[in-house]
Amino acid sequence: MAVRIQGMCSSCHAAQSVDLPADTKSFICNQCLSVTTIDHLPSQGPQISSHLPSPSSSPSSHYSLISGPGSKRAVICGITYQGTCLELKGCLNDANCMKYLLTTRFHFPDSSILMLTEEQMDPSRKPTKYNIMHALEWLVQGCQPGDSLVFHFSGHGSQQINYNGEELDGYDETLIPMDFQTAGPIVDDDINSTIVRPLPVGVTLHAIVDACHSGTVLDLPYLYRYNGYEQFTWEDHRPTTGTWKGTAGGDVYSFSGCDDNQTVVDTSDLAKGTSTGEMTYCFIQAIERGYGSTYGSLLNAMRSAVHSAENQLVTSLIDKLLSVIFHQMQEPQLTASKTFDVSKPFIL
């Protein structure tokens, strides 16, 4: 049951009026994106107070929290980890290219795309763990049937031991924010609970994740697994115990750079000397070259492009053997909230 939340943002004091599930614990301001928690819901409207830290400054642009049916909204994160031993070169380029693709090819309004990159002057726009998680809350909050949502991440991914038995391989997948050394990683369980499980009927979310160990980083129930001989089957990743990992009726599709036990490549060999993530580059090129008509054709085009690129990069027999032994040949993956015919048209 939905409840209309009326009150004031505890950070910028902007008036808020939004329809949210009855068990909602907080909302995100449609002006400054800070979080205000809800203490209780009396009949005349909720009393609102803040118990969470808010970004140190307000965003330079305002983003609409509630919009009409058929609206488009995206969160794009590109992290290079400047000044650390994990520094990457192509993630900022990935973020900018993805924004260009969404605005020019799929007609996403520029004002509905939230960019989180290290070059941002506004502290609330830097890809910290706090900012990424609250950007994801903003992405799905107030969505309505017909809405199209996109989450793109280019950066490091990792794994950690899963202790509750919900993972087939025994590991949770993680995304690494820019402040990972102090804040820690973003775990797939938290991503799932934030943007997957709340997604209502009629809303579509696409995730494009260019990171190591990212095959099931949204914890979606089904993986479109290649089983050899040019055959694919849907692999069931629903946990036998624990929390349901599907949606509240919406549709989620995730293209990731590699399987959970693989790594991805950050290279300058594909885009004429410009550093890019291999998966992001191949995803965009597949669409630009006309291979994005269906989910199946897009996945096949990405896989073919990645294989072709890696065959050019890995030239010696020893390197190829090592890549097979240590699972370094990345295979783009498709996971979903439900099984479907991959000849279905791909639409953002």
* Catalytic site positions: 156, 212
Task: Provide the pairing of β-strand 15-21 with 2-8.
Answer: antiparallel
CA separation for the pair 146, 168 (Å, rounded): 33
CA separation for the pair 280, 101 (Å, rounded): 11
Tokens of 264: 């991805």
In 162-221 the beta strands, taken as DSSP E runs, fall at 171-175, 186-187, 204-210
DSSP summary character for residue 130: H
CA separation for the pair 48, 316 (Å, rounded): 63
**33, 134 contact by CB (below 8 A):** yes
Distances (CA, A) of 52 to 28, 130, 179, 271, 290: 11, 11, 18, 42, 46
**Assign residue 120 a region: left if phi > 0, alpha if psi is -120 to 50, beta otherwise?**
beta
